[in-house]
Chain A
Amino acid sequence: MLTDGLVVVHEGLGEEKLGLRRLVLKGPIAKTAQAGQFVAVQVQDSSIPSFDPLLRRPISLAEISPDQEEITLLYRIQGRGTEILARARCGERLSLLGPLGKGFSLPKIGELWLIAGGIGIFPLYALAQSALAQGLIVRLFWGGENQSFLKSAGLPAWQALGIPIHLSTLDGTLGDKGLVTEQVQVRLSQLFRQTKQADSSSPGQISVATCGPKKMMQAVTELCMNFSVPVQVSLEERMGCAVGACLGCVCTLIDEAGTLSHRKVCQDGPVFRGEEVVWDASC
């Protein structure tokens, strides 16, 4: 739907130099939105309408509260569009298109592993909330640059969920030093050995949802495929219309017969099954 969101909270998140923002919008989108979906926000200084920047900005939903009719968007200021968005004040209304795209699907039972790289953590919070509400076991693996980043980008809110959390930082200032995928690999290997002893072909009932840099999601997908663990990935691409009309944001998928096809990240995704994504597509 095309609707307005009333800004009820718009604040810095953590250390100011990281440019992270938390934006809570009140409006009807919260009623139907699902984890993994996104909104296309018009970024305009409402006092001076202009067409620069021209396009809406797609931003994932970090929290969905249907009862309060609120959605939370977490974003990082990294260009002219988000710089202008960051000026929106409480009481203003922002034009929103959404909820858009196809979000994550939850397994019926078992353990859901969330694997995040950097600000790829943002859409996974809404997923964690709905998974926990359905009684699933949730475990987080999150890698970031350093302690300051992880703390700024919402670690306290994750800790408040009371779930097991495995952190990695590039400089070792929090959690393990290294990449998040290393921790995932270690844990999957352990589990795989245990279940192998129990004469099973895969670690039982684990599924993975991941969001982060492309290379990291590709590595997570390869790991999951090695261990026969189902994995959902949330892709990102430059978008034009955000509703499937312009074909600007396609990704390449491969089916079981090896046939390549394009899908629209905005409409058919952003969430896809990891094994169907062609990560280094040249067409």
Chain B
Amino acid sequence: MRPVDLTTAFAGITLRNPVLTCSGTYGFGEEYADYCPLEALGGITLKGITPLPRLGNSVPRLVETPAGLLNSVGLENPGLEEFLFSYLPKIRKMPTAVIANISGFSLEDYVQMASALQVDSGLAALEVNISCPNVKHGGMHFGTDPQSAEEVIAAVKTATDLPIIAKLSPNVTDIVGMARAVQRGGADALSLINTLLGMRIDIEQQRPLLANTVGGLSGPAIRPIAVRMVWQVAEAVDLPIIGMGGITTWQDAVEFILAGATAVSIGTGNFVNPQAPLEVLQGIDVYCEKHGITSVRNLVGLAHKA
């Protein structure tokens, strides 16, 4: 029997397999290299960067919830200049597809970063974070208002020749409307979903547990919401989707692909099991073979056709 074809391609991005890692959970690619070989991954998405360096929020930045994790890191990052100077040279040599993630506080911020990151930077694509819940105006405004979302994506699209992936916030009433807006703006693909806004309170101290009061919820707890949003957007919008939100096992990943995701991305799951991406990939392979699927591309959205 022929081995399952795991390669995938969408929006001008070619991947050796459909398993990626999520921005903010994988540093700049080196942190997990001892635990999960980069060359085995379809690709990685880097920690979000902003034009200027940011120290981020105070600690505590993390608190656990049932099958979930709340975080409010607040976009701590070295800034664009340091990224280009210190990180990009190493990133160019990484044996996997690398997607940079950009965040901003104004249209100009996004354009400045997109202009500095082009195909010849050695990147595979640019993920535009219009959905960070943890900083004031941290893109969240762009991520919850369709017209702003369209404008920011259109501006970024003009500024770079890299494929544009719009990372959408689930903190909206109409995810399909947001997906349509960024499609009009010229997005080449979608990342679905970012974290859900949540909070926890220390009942003894009678205070919020996170220094930032609220944070973004990730992990298995949010998976059904993510699957639902991938499903809804796949029904309505003709753009490739990178599915994410609580994927920790291969079964989770297959669910996203069946819902319409062309690729999947693992975030918080890496913290639980640093080899989760490898196990997910292997599981997808075995699943396809068992179900007589010759290419993982043929699995995408299959649940819609049943």
Q: Please give the residue numbers on chain A whose beta carbons come within 8 Å of chain B beta carbons, in ascending order.
A: 1-2, 42, 50-56, 95, 97, 237-252, 260-262, 267, 281-283
Contacts and interface: CB of A to CB of B under 8 A. Distances in A.
A247 B271 contact: no
Given A54-B219, A240-B271, A245-B27, A281 B66 contact: no
B272 A55 contact: yes
Contacts of B270: 241, 245
Task: Report, nearest first, the 5 A-B pairs whose CB atoms are least far apart.
Answer: A245-B31, A245-B27, A248-B62, A51-B67, A51-B220
A42 B31 CA distance: 19
Nearest to B26: A245
B58 A283 contact: yes
Given A237-B60, A243-B274, A246-B71, 4 more contacts: A2-B274, A54-B220, A238-B62, A262-B76
B35 A54 contact: no
Nearest to A282: B58
Contacts of A262: 55-56, 76
A268 B219 CA distance: 26
B56 A250 contact: yes
A245 B25 contact: yes
Nearest to A246: B25
Nearest to B66: A52
A121 to B, nearest CB: 24
B68 interface: yes
A238 B209 CA distance: 11
Nearest to B62: A248
A242 B27 CA distance: 12
Contacts of B26: 245
A237 B59 CA distance: 8
B24 A246 contact: yes
A108 B34 CA distance: 31
A249 B64 contact: no
25 contacts: A1-B35, A42-B273, A54-B69, A55-B272, A237-B59, A237-B60, A238-B61, A239-B62, A240-B71, A240-B271, A243-B32, A243-B274, A244-B27, A244-B31, A245-B31, A246-B25, A246-B62, A247-B24, A247-B76, A250-B59, A250-B61, A250-B76, A252-B55, A262-B55, A267-B31
Most buried by B among A1, A53, A97, A246: A246
Given A2-B274, A55-B69, A246-B271, A241 B219 contact: no
B25 A248 contact: no
B195 interface: no
A243 B30 CA distance: 10
Interface residues of B, number: 36
A16 B175 CA distance: 53
B232 interface: no
Contacts of B55: 252, 260-262, 283
A40 to B, nearest CB: 9
A42 B220 CA distance: 16
B271 A2 contact: no
B199 interface: no
B56 A281 contact: no
B202 to A, nearest CB: 12
A56 B69 CA distance: 12
A250 B76 CA distance: 10
Given A246-B71, A262-B76, A56 B271 contact: yes
Nearest to A40: B271
B88 interface: no
B271 A238 contact: no
Interface string B36-69: 0000000000010000000111111111101111
B248 interface: yes
B56 A54 contact: no
A145 B268 CA distance: 38
B274 A97 contact: yes
Interface in B178-199: none
Nearest to A250: B59
Interface in B103-155: none
Interface string B62-103: 111011110101001000000000000000000000000000
B171 interface: no
Contacts of B213: none
B68 to A, nearest CB: 6
Nearest to A239: B62
A244 B32 CA distance: 9
Given A54-B220, A241-B271, A247 B73 contact: yes
B103 to A, nearest CB: 14
A51 B34 CA distance: 24
B272 to A, nearest CB: 6
